[in-house]
Amino acid sequence: MIPFRSFYSSLAIRLVFITYFTICLSTATIFVSSDDSDLVSYVTLPDHRVLKCNITYYDRQAVAPGYWFVAPYWITGGEPYTNRWMPYQIGPYIFDQDGTVIGLDLENANGTVLNNRYQITGSTPVNDKHEFYVYAPGRSLAIHHRREVVDLWKIGMPGVPRLVKLHGFRDIDYTTGEIFFEWDSQGHVPLDESFIAVEAGPPDDPADYLHANSVEKTKDKNGTVSLNPPSPSCPT
């Protein structure tokens, strides 16, 4: 069994794999800002502009079947359209072996464990593609969040409701979905400990006052979770 610690490590494994078999994956080289020829648009995916891949096989027989995962740029929610060329279009993307996109936009991605035949043995939602830590067969820690309307009394605005994200993690059986333990910041980390302006922003956009990035099991079997509020200089 191959325990993929997170989407990113599966990506790294795949990239090593690609390099090992000397497949050449490259995009066209010269573009001007008004030229979109490096991107593909799909009628059924109007919000997406997908990188074109120029794939050359030197020995196709030597390449194991599978898909290619292309690294995500950290924004996954979509940017305003420009025709500025960037070496990092919004991702992540999954391509088949001929460079046709077969999957994208994994903002609400799962942590998925495959066996050595690349068959799925279990899958569980992982908030924002953050930590998915398989610590034993079937058992994992997964970053999790829920949205809840809270009263802002703690930051001096009693009676003012605000939708917030409450981040934490689950100790979960990724094969059955059974939750052994769940923790989130509600009742543990008050709103006034964040340097985010919790009251700011559109009401339907939950305040991300404390953002969970990673979680680990300590030797005494407790969980340690790393949380930080996002900021423009420190994207999470």
Ligand X SMILES: *[C@@H]1O[C@H](CO)[C@@H](O)[C@H](O)[C@H]1NC(C)=O
Residue ranges binding ligand X (CB under 6 A): 24, 28, 54, 56, 110, 112, 123-125, 177, 220, 222
Q: How far apart are CA 113 and CA 138, in angstroms?
A: 9
Q: Which of 144/162 has CB closer to ligand X?
A: 144
What pairing do the DSSP bridges indicate for beta strands 110-114 and 120-125? antiparallel
Q: How far apart are CA 219 and CA 236, in angstroms?
A: 27
Q: CB of 201: closest distance to ligand X in angstroms?
A: 28
Q: How far apart are CA 199 and CA 160, in angstroms?
A: 9
Q: CB of 109: closest distance to ligand X in angstroms?
A: 8
Q: CB of 96: closest distance to ligand X in angstroms?
A: 17
Q: CB of 56: closest distance to ligand X in angstroms?
A: 5
Q: Which of 28/160 has CB closer to ligand X?
A: 28
Q: Which of 112/228 has CB closer to ligand X?
A: 112
Q: Which of 99/230 has CB closer to ligand X?
A: 99
Q: CB of 224: closest distance to ligand X in angstroms?
A: 9
Q: Which of 110/228 has CB closer to ligand X?
A: 110
Q: CB of 110: closest distance to ligand X in angstroms?
A: 4
Q: Which of 132/209 has CB closer to ligand X?
A: 132
